[in-house]
Amino acid sequence: MHSSAVVQSILNIALETAEDYDANSITEINIEVGKLNLMTTDKIKYIFDVLSKNTIAENADLIINETEVKIKCNDCSYIGSIDKANNKMSPMALCPNCGSPRVNVLSGYDLKIGNITIEKP
């Protein structure tokens, strides 16, 4: 999915939630982004600022927390976090124990909405 479509989905969820609670503004949106996700914090914030213009989320603080990458190595059976990932063009995780690229990524590509803070009239 394209970056702007992902951010639009986040904004739509926030706006729908605010509407469900008859809010007059959204003050904060917390999201979690995996470190292997190709969307950078700056890119997400920029797109959000553009898309939220003239909405009740226009002045909302977008809080972005990066989540760790966790893997399971198919060669040495290591299960755990990794410190570094090659994510320049194609995200790739290597086992920190044996260096193998034969790993299953358990988390690190995720993008989740944590909580949405609203104000009611």
Query: What pLDDT was estimated at residue 84?
Result: 59
- Phi (first) and psi of residue 4, to 5 degrees: -65, -30
What is the CATH number for 91? 3.30.2320.80
- What was the pLDDT predicted at 22? 95
Token pair belonging to 73: 């190595």
pTM of the model: 0.79
How many domains does the chain contain in total? 1
Count of other CB atoms within 10 angstroms of residue 42: 9
Range of the structural domain that residue 52 is part of: 3-119
Q: Which pLDDT score is estimated for 113? A: 94
Q: Is 36 exposed, middle or buried (0-12, 13-18, 19+ CB in 10 A)?
A: buried
User: Measured between alpha carbons, how far is 61 from 58 in angstroms, rounded to an integer?
Assistant: 9
pLDDT at position 52 is 97
- β-bridge pairing 111-119 and 103-107: unpaired
Rounded distance between C-alpha atoms, residue 104 and residue 17, angstroms: 34
The predicted pLDDT at position 63 comes to 97
Kindly state the tokens that stand for 94.
Answer: 């290597």
* Residue located via tokens 């969307």: 39
pLDDT by position in tens, the chain (length 121): 578 899 999 999 999 999 999 999 999 999 999 888 878 889 999 999 999 999 999 999 999 999 888 999 999 999 999 875 554 434 567 898 998 999 998 988 888 999 999 998 8
Q: Is 19 helix (H, G, I), strand (E, B) or coil?
A: helix
Q: Tell me the residue ranges of DSSP E strands in 1-121.
A: 25-34, 61-67, 69-73, 79-82, 103-107, 111-119
